[in-house]
Amino acid sequence: MGAILVGYALLLVAALSAIAYVLGRTTGARLKPAAGEKIHSLPGYHGAFVAVWVGIPALILVILWAGLQGPVIDRMITASLPAELSSGKSGAEVALLVSEVKNVAAGRMFSEPNPAIVAAAERLNAWESIAGWALLVIVVAIALGSISITRSKLSPRFRARNDVEKTISGLMIACSVVAILTTLGIVVSLVYEASAFFAMVPFHEFLFGLKWEPQIALRADQVAGQGAFGAVPVFVGTLLISAIALVVSVPVGVFTAMYLVEYADERVRAVVKPILEILAGIPTVVFGFFAILVVAPAVREFSMTLGLAASPNSALAAGLVMGIMIIPFVSSLSDDALKAVPRSMRDGSLALGATPAETVVKVLLPAALPGIMGGILLAASRAIGETMIVAMAAGLIATMTINPLDSVTTVTVQIVTLLTGDSEFDSPKTLAAFALGLVLFVVTLTLNIIALRIVRHFREQYE
Amino acid sequence: MTVAADIKTDTSAFATIRTPDLQPRPVKVKATGVKVFYGAKQALHGVTIDIPDRTVTAFIGPSGCGKSTFLRCFNRMNDTIVGARVEGEILLDNRNIYAPDLDVVELRARVGMVFQKPNPFPKSIFENVAYGPRIHGLARTKAELEEVVVTSLQKASLFNEVKDRLQEPGTGLSGGQQQRLCIARAIAVSPDVILMDEPCSALDPIATAKVEELIDELRANYTIVIVTHSMQQAARVSQRTAFFHLGHLVEEGPTNMIFTKPIEQRTQDYITGRFG
């Protein structure tokens, strides 16, 4: 009931703002300037000014109300519970009682509830409905008050246009703050869970340990290993697969970009560029199929003809497919970097009698190198963080190896396996995922920062 | 006589025309009926001109008259523009540079070019000059390469200014020094002809004076064709001048004749500033 009323309150705010806009606009249009005066703002700005001052305070109120209503009512319910139910009980048990009250109030009953609980549930419903109606009434009151105040402020010289401008810039700041706060929230939650892990497993053991066997017993009656949380093999696996991916994607991507910039005519470009963009748009899970069904068997058969033993889910197969996936990154960023080299450089080299190939290798490439490096680093951080392909095509066992025909596991695969299925949030097995995630985050963040710095430096060179 | 002094004392526009080079020189480049098309648009309508050896020939004319387009025919730089097409014949030492069996790379080594905006590569001063000799294999040893670089920088009157910082980036030089570096770079592959496309338009008057002085010195060894917007510059540096208008070569002759006794009314109007 309460939640529905909050929804109505939001609709009401929208409707009131619309009415406020119309009222403000009409008032604005009817303003009569004194002799020699000009009306400062167009009627639309007067309308927007009134609407903003109705909408934003009311909206803030609704949001605060929606956030606070639940806890306040919870507290009131707890206080109103008969003493014989709540006395001598811990906080968690009281919370359980409150949630039982809520279930009964919502009509979800599994057994015949205690009459005291039923009474509390009725109180809960009544209070929620009172709170909801109170909200609607207060919203209307605020809106009416705001309309009368703001409309009385409108005058020919009133700078509604400038005020609306300020509000819009405030709105944009608020939106960017949302993104920043979300990032901060993610970091904080990662650090929080990871610190819980490091309370159980020493930091140095995690960072430098050479054995990764997280499958410890969740229940006392399970048969499982002792557990070892040395992350080195997992990171070695990640680096191996990422390195294979870069070995594939960097030459292919950079040469593609060189071809597109220096050799291809318009018709070829018009075909090749969209195809590369399609490659960038393929969902990674589809690349995963491709890795399992095509590349992994091919790698296995090929290595068998060479007399080498390859595991069915080899690092090579996952790395090759990941490399194909990041080709568009490398090629499009290299393409941009090469194209940003001024035409006069190319002309200067060609006019000296250099061939196009000499021009690309000796002049364009060195000049565009910072930009290309930035592209490669961004692609590398993408490869390190990539999950789906490796989750499907790479192995689960953390082998400490750099043999590409062996099966290795990656950080992201381990996070997926540790967090899927039944998991307990006080076991090091589950919390290890957050520690891995934190390290992964730090690594990709560092790579991104370096890449962005290089790219920025490169921009300064030619602008 | 220094050009810098000329600028200071140059009150009437063409008072300082150099003693014309009257002894006849053999023809180095012979263009016959050259037409250039950019797609459907014709930029040059059949130009015929003889460029004499070891002489500075200036191309003047209002913007868009086709003088730069024509200049770029001499080293086939128009080939690099998509949709550009050249008709007619250009003979360099009696060989058609548009013949199908001609190697463009070799041609461009013989016909150097200096651009409107100084365009040194983002490499060291030494590497900028060594670039051409390296790709054409003109120096077999390191010592030979160094010699080529030093001689070229000396010929471009830049060596004394940069001899202590040859390993510093060429882009760190001043505009005028950069342009002389580009000239040194072009000289380093020992071309016969040097094309200059408004080489001073991005330079201040003092740097311009230095480049003009250099052009005058280079004329002893190279055939120079210079496109310029400044009629004073054409008068100062060239022995022959060609006036272009709307894709046609209007008039061509010894510089002092073009500037004092032009035959065509359009030339007269242009050099006296009646249009342009």
DSSP conformation letters of B239-266? SEEEEEETTEEEEEEEHHHHHHS-SSHH
| A53 and A152 inside one domain | yes
| A99 and A165 inside one domain | no
Residues of B within 8 A of A345 (CB-CB) are 119, 121-122
What integer pLDDT is reported at residue B9 of this predicted model?
41
Tokens of B10: 């140059």
What integer pLDDT is reported at residue B2 of this predicted model?
46
* Residue-wise pLDDT tens digits, A232-249: 889 999 999 999 999 999
Is B276 inside a domain boundary? no
Tokens of A102: 């809520």
Residue B203: count other Cβ atoms within 10 Å of its Cβ. 22
Is B24 inside a domain boundary? no
| A144 and A173 inside one domain | no
Q: How far is CA A44 from CA A25, A37, B14, in A?
A: 5, 19, 64
Tokens of B185: 């770079």
| A420 and A371 inside one domain | yes
Q: Across-strand partners of A225?
A: A216
Residues 6+ apart with CB under 8 A from B229: B60, B63, B198, B201
| A108 and A167 inside one domain | no
| A105 and A185 inside one domain | no
Is residue B250 classed exposed, middle or buried when 0-12, 13-18 and 19+ CB atoms within 10 A define those classes? buried
For residue B214, what is the domain's CATH number? 3.40.50.300
**Mean of all residue pLDDT scores within chain B:** 88
Lowest mean pLDDT among A458-462, B42-46, B109-113: A458-462
Question: Predicted confidence band at A222 (pLDDT cuts at 50, 70, 90)?
Answer: low
Is B222 inside a domain boundary? yes
| A256 and A149 inside one domain | no
| A411 and A456 inside one domain | yes
Q: Where are the alpha helices (DSSP H) in A386-427?
A: 388-393, 411-419
Instruction: Say yes or no: B122 contacts chain A, CB-CB below 8 A.
Output: yes
Helix, strand, or coil (residue A23): helix
What integer pLDDT is reported at residue A75 of this predicted model?
84
Element (H, E) at B56: strand B56-60
What integer pLDDT is reported at residue A460 of this predicted model?
54
Is A347 inside a domain boundary? yes
For residue A269, what is the domain's CATH number? 1.10.3720.10
Torsion angle of the four alpha carbons A375, A381, A385, A388, in this order, in degrees rounded to the nearest 10: 30
| A176 and A145 inside one domain | no
Nearest residue of A to residue B186, measured between CA atoms: A352
Whether residue B5 is predicted with pLDDT greater than 50 in this model: the reply is no
Q: How far apart are CA A92 and CA A236, in angstroms?
A: 43
* Residue-wise pLDDT tens digits, B118-159: 999 988 999 999 999 999 998 889 999 999 999 999 989 899
From A78, A188, A77, select the one nearest A126 (Cα to Cα). A77
Residues of B within 8 A of A348 (CB-CB) are 115, 119-121, 182, 185
Lowest mean pLDDT among A172-176, A427-431, B83-87, B182-186: A427-431
For the segment B232-258, the average pLDDT, to the nearest whole number, is 92
- Indicate the number of domains in chain B: 1
Tell if the CB–CB gap between B121 and A367 is shorter than 8 Å: yes
Is A138 inside a domain boundary? yes
Helix, strand, or coil (residue B90): strand
Residues of B within 8 A of A346 (CB-CB) are 80
Cβ(B168)–Cβ(B44) below 8 Å: no
* Identity of the residue in B75, B109, B121 whose CB atom sits nearest the CB atom of A348: B121
For the segment B226-240, the average pLDDT, to the nearest whole number, is 92
Question: Predicted confidence band at B67 (pLDDT cuts at 50, 70, 90)?
Answer: very high
**Mean of all residue pLDDT scores within chain A:** 86
Q: Which residue has the tokens 């300082």?
A: B16
Is A415 inside a domain boundary? yes
Is A208 inside a domain boundary? no
Whether residue A176 is predicted with pLDDT greater than 70 in this model: the reply is yes
For the segment A343-348, the average pLDDT, to the nearest whole number, is 90
Whether residue B6 is predicted with pLDDT greater than 50 in this model: the reply is no
Is B231 inside a domain boundary? yes
Is B203 inside a domain boundary? yes
Question: Predicted confidence band at A72 (pLDDT cuts at 50, 70, 90)?
Answer: confident
Tokens of B255: 């510089």
Q: How far is CA A252 from CA A28, A48, A258, in A?
A: 63, 54, 10
3-state helix, strand, coil in chain A (%, to 5): 75, 0, 20
| A353 and A399 inside one domain | yes
How does DSSP classify residue B79? G
Domain span at residue A373 reads: 213-462
- pLDDT over 90 for what percent of chain B? 67
- Indicate the number of domains in chain A: 3
Q: At what angle do helices A296-305 and A315-340 cross, to 10 degrees?
A: 110
Element (H, E) at B236: helix B231-237
From B219, B176, B252, select the one nearest B25 (Cα to Cα). B219
Question: Predicted confidence band at B11 (pLDDT cuts at 50, 70, 90)?
Answer: very low
Q: How far apart are CA B239 and CA B256, in angstroms?
A: 8
Is B243 inside a domain boundary? yes
- pLDDT over 70 for what percent of chain A? 94
Dump the DSSP string for A307-319.
T----TT-HHHHH
| A296 and A194 inside one domain | no
From B270, B236, B245, select the one nearest B56 (Cα to Cα). B236
* Residue-wise pLDDT tens digits, A282-329: 999 999 999 999 999 999 999 999 888 888 888 999 999 999 999 998
Torsion angle of the four alpha carbons B155, B157, B161, B164, in this order, in degrees rounded to the nearest 10: 10
Residues of A within 8 A of B119 (CB-CB) are 342, 344-345, 347-348
* Residue-wise pLDDT tens digits, A140-160: 999 999 999 988 888 888 888
Q: How far apart are CA A422 and CA A420, in angstroms?
A: 7
| A176 and A254 inside one domain | no
Tell if the CB–CB gap between A348 and B123 is shorter than 8 Å: no
* Residue-wise pLDDT tens digits, A386-431: 888 988 888 888 888 888 888 888 999 988 888 887 667 777 888 8
Whether residue B276 is predicted with pLDDT greater than 70 in this model: the reply is no
Nearest residue of B to residue A462, measured between CA atoms: B122
Domain span at residue B100 reads: 3-19+29-271
From B160, B164, B130, B162, select the one nearest B145 (Cα to Cα). B130
